[in-house]
Amino acid sequence: MSVPIQEQVQQILDNRTFVDLLEDFKANTTALLNVYFPNSESTLKSSILPIQISFSLLVSLLPVVFLLLKKSKNRIESPRKFELPVPDEAKPNWKGKRLNPPNIFQENDPDHIYCYCPATSQYLGKFKSNDKEEIDLSIAKAKKAQQAFYSDPQFAIKRRRFLRTLNKFIIDNQETIARVACRDSGKTMVDASMGEIMVTLEKINWVLANGEKALANSVRPGSSNMFMAYKKAEVRYEPLGVVGALVSWNYPFHNSLGPIIASVFTGNGIVVKCSERVRWSTEYFITLVKTALKVCDIDEDLVQLICCWGQ
């Protein structure tokens, strides 16, 4: 049974290495040149030798270039370490006085927001209700910090390092964070662990894995008109500048950190308006974020916290 010529050629090629094929090409080329140019063998050797050296050098450098590109693409910025004092009220055996009556608004002091534990009525502290001038100042600070942050040549590196720094601190201090959230909202530690810690860590991990891809420029189809076929549309995502986040009381850590994570990664400044019922815990959480920004060489004014009575 005869084998088709195509299969014979394919079998020969399958059994030969690239170097063998290169040697065959060299031999065939030399033979042809000797037929038409009898004195060209020495010239051919002198011209092919540099090509062989260059090709060998290129082959040896390709793996190095590949590894460098892969390392640059998958670079992981080391998180920065920092410490944050634990509030006395968040310590396990803390005994505080009870607020009577247990209400965030006290008629004898209407300019302040009173904080207490809903489960025990223990007094946590009081904070001034921000007025219009203070809110405007917070917005101005965030705007100035945002302009410097987004124009920084190290913007992409710093935003990833910031999230990794947050991620490490949350993992290392999850019990303290959960206890602070419990003290101000009255929830259990199990609820805080699942509803505050786990979901926040998952959001950080998702943004680190998919954020840059989601924000990359994308091309849209151009006009269907044949005379406009050379045109195309491109979508580019740019920061808004300063964004506002009005967050609820039920999950103070997750509800505050969620918009902060997205805003900082997209190059925005943010002003967080927390609920009056979790003013005490949110103060600790925003201090956490500001400290993480500072150790990552980012202006801590990028994130602002305000809280005020409704007007």
Amino acid 70: pLDDT: 57
Amino acid 230: pLDDT: 74
C-alpha to C-alpha distance for 235 and 300, rounded to whole angstroms: 30
Q: Is the pLDDT of residue 60 over 90?
A: no
The β-bridge relationship of strands 112-116 and 123-128 is: antiparallel
Amino acid 165: pLDDT: 97
C-alpha to C-alpha distance for 123 and 126, rounded to whole angstroms: 9
Q: Is the pLDDT of residue 21 over 70?
A: no
Q: Is the dihedral of CA 233, 211, 305, 152 positive or negative?
A: negative
Q: Is the pLDDT of residue 93 over 90?
A: no
Give how far Cα 167 sits from Cα of 76, 86, 174, 266, Å: 13, 18, 10, 17
pLDDT in tens, 140-152: 999 999 999 999 9
26 or 242, which is more confident: 242
The pLDDT confidence band at residue 240, using thresholds 50, 70 and 90, is very high
Q: Is the pLDDT of residue 124 over 80?
A: yes
45 or 88, which is more confident: 88
Amino acid 54: pLDDT: 60
C-alpha to C-alpha distance for 268 and 261, rounded to whole angstroms: 10
Whose CA is closest to 233, among 248, 242, 223?
223
**From 60-74, 175-189, 229-243, 292-306, the region with the lowest mean pLDDT:** 60-74
Mean pLDDT of the chain: 85
Amino acid 246: pLDDT: 96
Domains of the chain: 5-73 (no CATH), 130-306 (3.40.605.10)
Average pLDDT over residues 258-278: 97
The pLDDT confidence band at residue 40, using thresholds 50, 70 and 90, is low
Phi, psi of 87 (to 5 degrees): -60, 140
Whose CA is closest to 245, among 217, 207, 285, 208?
285
Q: Is the pLDDT of residue 15 over 60?
A: no
Beta bridge partners of 220: 233
Residue with tokens 């100042």: 137
58 or 217, which is more confident: 217
**From 6-10, 54-58, 259-263, 269-273, the region with the lowest mean pLDDT:** 6-10
The pLDDT confidence band at residue 126, using thresholds 50, 70 and 90, is very high
Phi, psi of 273 (to 5 degrees): -105, 105
The one-letter amino acid code at 213 reads K
Average pLDDT over residues 260-288: 97
